[in-house]
Amino acid sequence: MAQRRKIIIDTDPGQDDAAALMLAFASPDELDVLGLCAVAGNVPLSLTSRNVRIVCELCGQSDMPVFEGAMHPILRKQVTAEHVHGRTGLDGAELPEPTMAARSQHAVDFIVETVMREPAGSVTLCTLGPLTNVALALQMEPAIAGRVRELVMMGGGFFEGGNITPAAEFNIYVDPEAAAAVFASEIPIVMMPLDVTHQLLTRKDRVARIAALGTRPAQVLVDWLAFFERFDEEKYGSDGGPLHDPTVIAYLLKPELFSGRHCNVEIETQSQLTVGMTVVDWWRVSGRKPNAMVMRHVDADGFFDLLTERVGRL
């Protein structure tokens, strides 16, 4: 059996973040989750921390270390997305408040300490929200850039445009300075943009297969998706909404589901019109050095087969 991949998940749940956490928890043979870091994003930090712990308890992971990180972007005012995710960030299912507590250590300290302690090239960072915690960790200890195995992230868009502004995807828009620092860091990056996630629609037939599992975690996920997809169904006129964040975990489990190319990616931080845009040199016309593996295509049926099978294990 291949060695389990050591990962840190940095997240701002969010129903699709919750689905990503569930996929990771259901894959202990492949993934060794060292800890979960909450960051302000879809909702404020107090709620993202709460939501991480709710998902942990739902999945029988009450011993999982959870750390609270940045309360706001590095330079900008906080932007949240209650209009998509609801007041709590996890609207759609009635669940008890978590009984497990977050650890006292700050998430940024945990990231730095863990990456510096574990063998170089052994820890993968999985980011499902704004990149604030990772950027602050790089600021605190630049040496982590040479020790991280890979950073697999959900964020950005190019041919698909943005989802919070015409040009920008939410995770990058919230803290573009953080994103710029991460893309400049020379950490090996795998980027899951809207171009991929918009191919992964929670169609009724796909959600029905998850519901048919009949387990408590599966039903909660179905309820979350029903709430989450309503916004995108209205926006895009689609059958179901795009499932963004689980692409990060799915890539670790089955990278063959995805295809893309190495590109240079720069983050716009100055323009009022396009701030937060991921400027992807897909056609390699700039001459700038590639700094990310940018995914463009995904086997959607294979992705939902994987998600359904793993959620059935919880």
From the list 83, 85, 244, 297, the catalytic residue is 244
244 carries an active-site annotation: yes
DSSP the chain: -PPPEEEEEEE---HHHHHHHHHHHT-TTTEEEEEEEE-SSSS-HHHHHHHHHHHHHHTT-TTS-EEE--SS-SSS-----HHHH-SSSSTTS--PPP-S---SSBHHHHHHHHHHHSPTT-EEEEE-S-SHHHHHHHHH-GGGGGTEEEEEEE---STT--SSSSS--HHHHH-HHHHHHHHTTT--EEEE-HHHHTT-B--HHHHHHHHTT--HHHHHHHHHHHHHHHHHHHHH--SS-B--THHHHHHHH-GGGEEEEEE-EEE--S-TTTTT-EEE-TT--S-PPP-EEEEEEE-HHHHHHHHHHHHTT-
Report the catalytic residues.
Answer: 244
